Structure 1
């Protein structure tokens, strides 16, 4: 124990002496702990239970009774949520307080809630309404009054801070639609569990009409005794659901974590990969300490210290630095998680509960950080115990012993097993693919020292800076292999996820089935006269500034009622051609102008067919014998009518488009009419829900807005996040190993300068070292990541509904994001080399001073 305490003191002193290296190691170990702890803390605080919501749901009441539109029996869970309701042909009569009092004695307080469209400065906004007398002591805790007062009369409301952020002020009036009312703001009150909720608080029926239609309405009740399960069952039999404080307080068991085998395997894989990546990143940094302490350790060995003592000293570095980094990471992660969750709850309307730190999980993550640090220090500790004190004290450079590099046979076997496992994992789900890829990762980690040694033999043909860098990296292959393996693992993960995610988005685009291309907004109005349609067009032009509007057609029956058109799949390909996610089956009535908009080009053959009264199908499989089958369904009708029209197949603007474009002349023969009641625009910067509300309120009739955004924007953001994560890991591992290499090569660089080498040559040598480490890791990661990414496309793009024969790529979508791969495999190594070269010291340091 005395030797261990001495080792801890030596490690603490060394950590304080070399603050830069200490900070580097602590960041490598503490950053994953911080991120994971922040996620766990934020998720625990956001995930609120029924007990956490008691104040906002019940206030000080003993129960909350909710009515339903009929008086048929209901079934509910312990939190009061209805799980089953017996259907009824007609609504029941409204409940009265006297009837409720006969079933459950206590003081009743009426409440009701719904959603309205509130007219704010920037247009209509969907806003929650909660009506209850918040001055009553029974509502204590339901809302926190921030400013002003609660409503005291009909037409008064208190608003949430989120509405204040939207431009509402104390004393303002707010117009609502459905119901059409005007209310005055008299206060500001916050929901304790949803601080970002847009909400207005009023007296019962102060804004909403009386409700008994299945929306949230009923009574809060203060009873003399707790509301027990028999009371709840009695109320359920007559169609009332009950949230009982007594039952909710005793029903929450808390989150016990994953119990199923699948969840445990996922957790185990995540832990193994996190520890592996942390060890690979922090390993070179611990090796930096070993190189700089060689002389100190040699002196200890010369004075009688054994190899075991030297191992203890280096492992103590891992314990001290890992322990401090894990504790700091956990503490900062808890704070970061709570702060991030508060902002997310306020600005993104996430649920918000009391600060909740899952201590067991957080302590487990911190222990994981310490284990990672100790694991990363194992190889340097073994090297320290084997170094020659004579060579070190004589000033000779330390290099790895020649001979076998790593365990190439074991690595090759693991890679081969991983590839075989990938083949069998294709049709067994994403977790199986990840497990098989993990075998490949470990195999490549074991192969990396051999790859470093093999590439070192090519150094003789390279220019001088590259030759020096590659030979030095090969001589110190343990240090180089660790950093290169870290880069490889990060690159492999980024490439695999990039291919999988990109293929998923492309597959989703290909299966959209909409007639319009991505980036299109479609506005429609129904049963509207010409004057109202002119108002619609003017309002749309105002809300979509700069957009070019294309006039479209809507189909009606002889009475002017809207008609929905769909195409029918041929009988011989219904199951093969009609996947579950192909939901639109769209048919658009259009002229030549709309056809050109949908195809994004002029297609003479398609335009000629349309002019001749033929339909143009963007889905060739629905055309049989030059005909396509269409179905019509008018409002109020329960069955669809079928008719056939001549059709030709044509290419759409994008692979994801489908459906049929039909001319008015073909509809006339089926007894249908068309009206100019649709607009098409190549525009997506629009809130479709808000615009729909504004159009409907403006014309008093029904309008709809459909925006086909596609997945390009989401795809770009996702790949950018993956690139940023790869950037951190690749540069972190590269710079740690490059810093160590520069320290080891200082004598060589000084000799190079002494014989006439310029500062530019020194920079090139260090930059070449960074390029070699990151480039080799990126190339190996590219190959392995491509194989794993293609394997991921099987479970990600098949959707589980098609036959999944082994090695049958026809049912999958494989879309390689070439620009993203170039950024990861070429851009990041170039950035690492450029950064390392720019920040290299070029000043010559004399080893001895000559008198």
Structure 2
């Protein structure tokens, strides 16, 4: 025992001195191992610090209160103990909206739920557009008594003071940054009659990027709502909640259930810190807890994460392994002296392994130390990036020790193969520099082949099993490890290509084959990096093709539309003029919408003076699937399948709400047909003659369409609950039925202005469709947006540009990453090759070889390693991508079948889930990366070397 201890101490000392002598190589390996440790330790500390404790999280949600109560708007409810899930009593299937509406003049149900003696602070939140230095900014607005002790912890005052009187507000730093305003500025919500003075800046600790302004109670919503209503616009809505203080044991679970019975949802400090058993939660008795997604971490995500970590460790080991082999090769005389003085193979292995232990330990200490230091130093940047203030630094010593141990294990694993190789050399070979001859390992290729077959089978099984992604990831990782084990054999097969190559590449290939101990790890490292890149690139490219196939254009390519809400009808002429002035508009078709009530009324306005004009589909032309009392459940699966193919139920993607009207009715003339590229002569001539055109044959009967003018929206909602048509006055119009082949781009009915007027239907300007003479530049779009902002209206301009892929940058980054790893690994292998072949190169120089031979040979050695790794990695990377896509196809087929069983209008065809190879990415990896590695190695290699006598044989 004592001799074993002393031998390892001596081995560690020798390894430490050797590492100190070869500072450059040691720093390279140390950095290689330490860099991931820096990232992991920093991520661990940052995420743990950002993951607040229950008490810290409660302080940011409910301040110093015992609970926060919010109206559920569903009447009596059941809720989870955390207050993050709820459902109406009896479930959503039996929910009756009429019972959740409080009677006129009734007290707030939340206040009715408060226990006697409770203190309450009201918080009102809403949304508005606020004028800034740059235009309009979508902003959260809030009313809260910030001076109340119950609000402590909800916000942090950064500078200035809290608001005290009407006309004063405080704003978040995010709002001030985006708006260009500052403490002391005046801020004006759009529609408000008077501005508010910003007296302080604050931040929301868990929402640093949220633009928000806060005013004292009663000073913001009521004046703004009154001003908007007076201007004929829809008002601003506020969502109210209450911070409650009850004292004693706090807001108990029994109090929570009593509040639920009054229609309030509760976030209670006492309940969250001491939750009840699931058996005491009525919500979980009504519906399984699993349906609310509250069962913890997804096992599939953990499996994928473990696979990624394991492959990352493998890649580090494969990259560091050749570097340790370089060290063992350069120290072979020292190792030979150990053997000549009585050391056996155990001691040789211990010395090389100690090198991995020393560098791994140094990487562990430096990596974790630098990671923690960086997290502390970069805390403000990290918090800004995450959008959350840390609750404090949550240092977990055991987790950091585990991360550090990972570095030590990685160093040891990387040194295993060089240690075994060095221990097998004879003392004479080590002292004289001879390499010796080793028989090829016949077991490893068999193990690798079995692993590849088993991994491929598991991945393919996963593509057809319920555990799809998890099994595919595990099988792909096993197959990749099998290819790594097969790498020495595959390198030997590559060597057979040398007979057809010129001198320099042939020498490089044969050298790589003869020295598989250093070539195989580098090739495997490239394989690991390229396989991951190819897998992600193939998956993303295939997904991109699927999204492109599923994309449904809202307008013809290059056609645009200007739309506004109802309140902007007065500004529409100015908006249309700005559109034509700022953009290269070729043709413009102005459109109106039908209105019932004031010109500013929207279809679903909460204003009781507003109604709507609704197309009534004849009852015998409605889809039976949705007319039955129980919906699709009223029919058998076969009956539902047949009905989905019925023309009344067919899902015509061209029919739906148009951009200017959710009901699909547009008031326009024949110019709209030119813009929408509708060339059917009958349709165009009908509009030109003032005749309405219908594009949905379900709404047409006997050549007529019925439009019902609904003025009593409350009665209409009641009728809807009874599955009846809304009451109102009918307008029957004779229409032209457009052929099914005509795409109306979302409109069911187009009314010429003269037809709408003749029917007694009121209209209001809604927007414009337009074509462009060329394309709109970014500068032109910005100029138009500036004009719209200066008008102070809510207008939107969109131009159909077709499907836009968002994955190109990600694929480029992955390709660059794989290229860097490839060049790095190939460079390490080339350095080892030069160390091994130094004597051969000097002999070539001695017999008259040109100086460029050294440079050329070095370039080809590097290129050969890179090419072999890229080819094998490309093949290995296709497996997981194909498996995941097959698994997704199975999931989509099951989803389609379930949707059809539930009666949804989905196609009977098989979902389109393609598997496509990204040939551009693959071509870059197969051609550009090896070529770049070869050229770089050739450029950095010296073309001459000192002539020396070879060691005697």
What range is the shorter-chain TM-score in?
Answer: 0.7 to 0.9
- Structure 1 residues 724 and 338, CA gap change in structure 2 (3 angstroms): farther
Q: Does 1:814 align with 2:915?
A: yes
Residue deviations 1:521-542 (CA, integer Å, cap 9, x gap): 6432366898632222345578
Q: Does 1:202 align with 2:218?
A: no
- Structure 1 residues 157 and 273, CA gap change in structure 2 (3 angstroms): same
Residue deviations 1:28-70 (CA, integer Å, cap 9, x gap): 22223333333444333344454222333333x3324434286
Residue deviations 1:567-615 (CA, integer Å, cap 9, x gap): 99998694799999979856687999877877xxxx8x9576864669x
After TM superposition, the structure 1 stretch with the greater mean CA deviation from structure 2, 167-176 or 237-246, is 237-246
Query: How far apart in 2 are the matches of 1:499 and 1:580?
Result: 32
Report 1:222-621 matches (<5 A). 223=247, 226-251=250-275, 261-336=299-374, 342-343=380-381, 345-346=383-384, 349-350=387-388, 352-357=390-395, 359-396=397-434, 398=435, 401-403=438-440, 407-428=444-465, 429-516=468-555, 522-525=561-564, 532-538=571-577, 548=585, 551-552=588-589, 554=591, 556-557=593-594, 574=644, 585=656, 611=684
Query: How far apart in 2 are the matches of 1:197 and 1:648?
Result: 48
Deviation at 1:799, TM superposition (A): 5.5
Deviation at 1:342, TM superposition (A): 4.1
Is the partner of 1:458 in helix, strand or coil? helix
Is the partner of 1:20 in helix, strand or coil? helix
Is the partner of 1:194 in helix, strand or coil? coil
Query: How far apart in 1 are the matches of 2:569 and 2:110?
Result: 53
After TM superposition, the structure 1 stretch with the greater mean CA deviation from structure 2, 256-265 or 17-26, is 256-265
Kept in 1: contact 2:863–2:934 (CA 8 A) = yes
Is the partner of 1:117 in helix, strand or coil? strand
Deviation at 1:278, TM superposition (A): 2.1
Query: How far apart in 2 are the matches of 1:558 and 1:100?
Result: 39
Query: How far apart in 2 are the matches of 1:204 and 1:149?
Result: 16
Aligned partner (choices 18, 22, 32) of residue 22 of structure 2: 18
Is the partner of 2:136 in helix, strand or coil? strand
Query: How far apart in 2 are the matches of 1:499 and 1:738?
Result: 30
Residue deviations 1:174-224 (CA, integer Å, cap 9, x gap): 011366652101112222222332222221122223999771432443635
Aligned partner (choices 886, 896, 900) of residue 794 of structure 1: 886
Kept in 2: contact 1:179–1:208 (CA 8 A) = no
- Structure 1 residues 257 and 747, CA gap change in structure 2 (3 angstroms): farther
Query: How far apart in 2 are the matches of 1:444 and 1:828?
Result: 21
- Structure 1 residues 685 and 476, CA gap change in structure 2 (3 angstroms): same
Specify the alignment match of 1:678 in structure 2: 768
Is the partner of 1:379 in helix, strand or coil? helix
Deviation at 1:802, TM superposition (A): 5.5
Aligned partner (choices 184, 189, 193) of residue 171 of structure 1: 184
Residue deviations 1:372-414 (CA, integer Å, cap 9, x gap): 2212211111111101221221233x26625457733333333
Count residues with an aligned counterpart: 825
- Structure 1 residues 780 and 351, CA gap change in structure 2 (3 angstroms): same
- Structure 1 residues 391 and 692, CA gap change in structure 2 (3 angstroms): same
Query: How far apart in 2 are the matches of 1:480 and 1:815?
Result: 32
Is the partner of 1:8 in helix, strand or coil? helix
Query: How far apart in 2 are the matches of 1:597 and 1:351?
Result: 51
Query: How far apart in 2 are the matches of 1:34 and 1:798?
Result: 40
Deviation at 1:296, TM superposition (A): 1.0
Kept in 2: contact 1:519–1:683 (CA 8 A) = no
Is the partner of 2:221 in helix, strand or coil? coil
- Structure 1 residues 531 and 247, CA gap change in structure 2 (3 angstroms): closer
Kept in 2: contact 1:591–1:610 (CA 8 A) = no
Kept in 2: contact 1:520–1:707 (CA 8 A) = yes
Is the partner of 1:195 in helix, strand or coil? coil
- Structure 1 residues 88 and 106, CA gap change in structure 2 (3 angstroms): closer
- Structure 1 residues 532 and 298, CA gap change in structure 2 (3 angstroms): same
Query: How far apart in 2 are the matches of 1:261 and 1:85?
Result: 30
Specify the alignment match of 2:903 in structure 1: none
Q: Does 1:54 align with 2:93?
A: no
Query: How far apart in 2 are the matches of 1:645 and 1:65?
Result: 57
Is the partner of 1:186 in helix, strand or coil? strand
Kept in 1: contact 2:683–2:738 (CA 8 A) = no
Kept in 2: contact 1:113–1:130 (CA 8 A) = yes
Q: Does 1:123 align with 2:224?
A: no
Aligned partner (choices 8, 11, 29) of residue 7 of structure 1: 11
Query: How far apart in 1 are the matches of 2:588 and 2:643?
Result: 34
Deviation at 1:117, TM superposition (A): 1.8
- Structure 1 residues 648 and 340, CA gap change in structure 2 (3 angstroms): farther
Specify the alignment match of 2:926 in structure 1: 825
Residue deviations 1:658-691 (CA, integer Å, cap 9, x gap): 8689877899799899977234576696999999
Query: How far apart in 1 are the matches of 2:880 and 2:745?
Result: 32
Report 1:775-794 matches (<5 A). 775-794=867-886
Query: How far apart in 1 are the matches of 2:861 and 2:310?
Result: 29
Query: How far apart in 2 are the matches of 1:380 and 1:630?
Result: 84
Query: How far apart in 1 are the matches of 2:595 and 2:294?
Result: 62
Query: How far apart in 1 are the matches of 2:950 and 2:487?
Result: 41
Residue deviations 1:630-676 (CA, integer Å, cap 9, x gap): 999999776699999343648x9xxxx98689877899799899977
Is the partner of 1:452 in helix, strand or coil? helix
Q: Unpaired segments of 5 or more residues in structure 1?
A: 615-619
- Structure 1 residues 503 and 129, CA gap change in structure 2 (3 angstroms): same
Q: Does 1:738 align with 2:830?
A: yes
Query: How far apart in 2 are the matches of 1:417 and 1:633?
Result: 66
Specify the alignment match of 1:617 in structure 2: none
Kept in 1: contact 2:498–2:509 (CA 8 A) = yes
Q: Does 1:103 align with 2:115?
A: yes
Deviation at 1:258, TM superposition (A): 6.7
After TM superposition, the structure 1 stretch with the greater mean CA deviation from structure 2, 61-70 or 282-291, is 61-70
Query: How far apart in 1 are the matches of 2:271 and 2:414?
Result: 51
Query: How far apart in 2 are the matches of 1:835 and 1:631?
Result: 76
Query: How far apart in 2 are the matches of 1:579 and 1:802?
Result: 21
- Structure 1 residues 181 and 430, CA gap change in structure 2 (3 angstroms): farther
Specify the alignment match of 2:86 in structure 1: 83
Kept in 2: contact 1:535–1:699 (CA 8 A) = no
Q: Unpaired segments of 5 or more residues in structure 2?
A: 90-98, 226-235, 278-292, 604-612, 625-640, 660-665, 688-694, 727-731, 898-908
After TM superposition, the structure 1 stretch with the greater mean CA deviation from structure 2, 115-124 or 306-315, is 115-124
Query: How far apart in 2 are the matches of 1:286 and 1:352?
Result: 41
Kept in 2: contact 1:48–1:351 (CA 8 A) = no
Q: Does 1:834 align with 2:871?
A: no
Specify the alignment match of 1:774 in structure 2: 866
Query: How far apart in 1 are the matches of 2:646 and 2:862?
Result: 52
Larger radius of gyration: 2
